[in-house]
Chains A and B, each alone.
Chain A
């Protein structure tokens, strides 16, 4: 209930000398004493300090104040502090109004007299407004402790494991038939050269076996509704045509499958797979998948060789896509990256010369489960005598991606080391700048220089099969200007590795729209704050981890994943969430259901109720920005704490000098 007679206490802050250096505070206090409904006015050196707040609390009790005005800094700074003090004093926290006489006045006004005058105006506005404030109560909602993790690469797996280990339920959704992501394709990891499989496979197994993790592979998020603490995610589980509960992963089906010439996605087109397949031997789950597009039975209606030979009777050609709804309270996005496709850079000959590889292909060449079982050989089986590695392919390039992909320098040097170790070949690194910030990274660079890797500073202009010396016939010539030696170098090599940059995964736009976060101009997810909110997004309860936010290496990705898991757990442990009371409400008696408000709401907080033909606000999503209220021609929408009455009175106060 609105108190019938307002008794207002006004407190004018010196803010050290920030305000009092310009504004004559005593004059403002004296002026405020004479304003309507003002019971008492005082000044204090620092209102935000404990004794300052105590002043408000004891005055409310002793003088019977029922409204509070503090003239000090910006509400962004201390509105919450003084609301809390007002509440502690036993009043509704919204019976408080702040007049900003620092940022809006003392800091920006030169003339002290004018500054004092403006302070009086602002105080008068706040006094007029606070008399018309209405008491508001924040709504409290339960937080669903379940977490959805989107993406099963190293970031998603780590986040899922941390949350699951804390005893909370995790739904881990992965688009591919197996978890593991890009890291499972790598051989060694820089700079320590430990084997990627040795450190990631245990994680895959742990995720697959964890009782708190519900793994949904070959699945995609198709919708997300709700708000922080209470989301409903709709997930499409694509049909594998193999019954996961029966498949033992023996692999006889793949052996018998007659469609054998399908380029392997996992090996990045370097090998072939069958129509029924598993991406790699350590896949989790180890349930095979039938690739409907290439399966003879689906194409021509006959074959079923896999079904005939499957002893477990696991093949099910009638399986259908499943749509599943899961209830969750928070989401971690860990959708990772894809590598840049170098085909448009025709000067490097990718796709034209068979010995030009992308770096991710070269990872597979190095890997023991890859096309050459880890031997570095050319496609016709020769050991290379020299290998060129071209940095910044598609990165730091005005025509492609302007950003630095951060990991390429380091993995390129890792390749140089591995080539040297395995084949003894000469390795030429063509670089623009070597970027090695990280623990042990610069040392690794020094080690490579000592190993005799040739570092040539210059952008490669061309890779050609025209050789200068007839004895080099069959080799590729890499042409580049060596900008340190100031001459053009033409180096014959057996293999060329293009250190391609990182790009956001496919389909990020769709997820962004569904989940409600924004992407930057390169397509990476915009974090809440570049420095102080790197794991959160503008949507409450949506966290991010790993390369979906921008290129990063494995240590940074894992650190972010654990951070995101921590953020989600911190949210869960609150159990209940108070929703800000300053939200908009729609009066159904005035609403015409024209949906113009829905059009301008950037938070997706407004929905249409067809039964009543009116719009409704979801308070948990509403941020109280007021777009809807100003759009509604019928003025059916009110923003609490910013209703017309309050704003009109504030204006009336400010202007009525």
Chain B
């Protein structure tokens, strides 16, 4: 366990200090849009009114790993940029880095223990009252009941692998920041900012973790699919809009294969299928699409919940992907996004594995 230091600064002072000490030349964080029109992940430079920065604001309009990937895929930024990421966004970024869709050089990864985000259905922001209750639940290290389903059952809410980790659970978002520095990069920032005084004790979170674990089991139970009919039922209402794949941080393909020519069938294919079944539901390949996606990114799914959020027909996509993903990850004992050096299991050959799958 890394030591935690009291920075005696709130988040805005901390951001300002990073710019003043020339530690960063840019910042990525959730920020209030002009004229209070909403909140969005934004890239900011020195001179911006950092009071508008809201890194802990409990919504996820998009998984920030996608933004960071777009920013760094071709080349790294020429000067250091700090990015605020929720733990699941950080894990997604690490997965993307493994498959060369992002670079971490000149990035300073700041994360915090996350209490979940509210569903962003219909683009509605949480009310003042909801936010107050949310802040209270952070202080008390409890689970808020109106956050995303996957957030309620998220056990990986600690900021593992961040250069700078902020502890808020048990303390609250308005307190002075409690910081720890796990990496070399983090430690050098700690030195530059002179944050070596006043250590503080970590909050007690055992109860919270065990509550989340219980929620997860329940979530898995509720969304369990044990046969083909249940699978057909769950996806029955899917309109094949592909929105889940567009917001998924792990779905990194340039053009989705399911939109390619391969799935533009010849008339004779339709005829042949129709002969056998007498009826064809159009568009074809809806479940094929979901299963294809699960097989491609299940081992890397970080359970951020974006897919469920955008589903216009309320299919619990992320709940099912979290369950399916954990099964795949469990087979290889793989934790997506935990360690940049851990190779991805499906492209790594090991002589001794999966013997239980042999006959």
Contacts and interface: CB of A to CB of B under 8 A. Distances in A.
Contacts of A589: 254
Interface in B303-359: 343-344, 346-349
Given A652-B272, A656-B272, A595 B99 contact: yes
A633 B343 CA distance: 17
A473 interface: no
B74 interface: yes
Contacts of A599: 343-344, 347-348
Given A599-B343, A600-B349, A634-B255, 11 more contacts: A590-B253, A591-B254, A592-B254, A594-B252, A599-B348, A613-B74, A634-B253, A644-B262, A645-B262, A652-B272, A656-B272
Given A633-B296, A635-B262, A652-B272, A592 B253 contact: yes
B217 to A, nearest CB: 30
Contact of B99 (A596, A636, A644, A645): A596
A590 B254 CA distance: 6
13 contacts: A589-B254, A590-B253, A590-B254, A592-B101, A593-B100, A596-B344, A600-B349, A633-B252, A633-B257, A634-B255, A635-B257, A636-B254, A652-B269
A591 B260 CA distance: 14
Contacts of A613: 73-74
Given A592-B252, A613-B74, A634 B257 contact: yes
A607 interface: no
A123 B228 CA distance: 32
Nearest to A593: B100
A385 B260 CA distance: 87
A171 B269 CA distance: 59
Contacts of B255: 590, 634
Given A594-B99, A595-B100, A634 B272 contact: no
Interface of B: 73-74, 99-101, 252-255, 257, 260, 262, 269, 272, 296-297, 343-344, 346-349
A584 to B, nearest CB: 16
B58 to A, nearest CB: 32
Interface residues of A, number: 20
A509 interface: no
Contacts of A635: 257, 260, 262
Contacts of A596: 99, 344, 347
A633 B253 contact: yes
Contacts of B257: 633-635
B205 to A, nearest CB: 36
In terms of DSSP, what is the predominant structure of the interface of chain B?
loop
A526 to B, nearest CB: 15
In terms of DSSP, what is the predominant structure of the interface of chain A?
loop
A201 interface: no
Interface in A594-624: 594-596, 599-600, 613
Contacts of A636: 254
A591 B262 CA distance: 17
A631 interface: yes
Contacts of B348: 599
A635 B261 CA distance: 11
A596 B299 CA distance: 14
A573 to B, nearest CB: 38
A600 B348 CA distance: 7
A592 B257 CA distance: 13
A443 B185 CA distance: 74
Contacts of A590: 253-255
A589 B253 CA distance: 11
Contacts of B253: 590, 592, 633-634
Interface string A561-599: 000000000000000000000000000011111111001
Contacts of B344: 596, 599
Contacts of A595: 99-100
Interface in A20-75: none
Contact of B347 (A600, A644, A656): A600
A480 B272 CA distance: 81
Interface in A614-657: 631, 633-636, 644-645, 652, 656
A506 to B, nearest CB: 24
Contacts of A633: 252-253, 257, 296-297
Contacts of B347: 596, 599-600, 631
A594 B101 contact: yes
A589 B261 CA distance: 14
Interface in A130-155: none
A634 B254 contact: yes
Interface string A507-519: 0000000000000
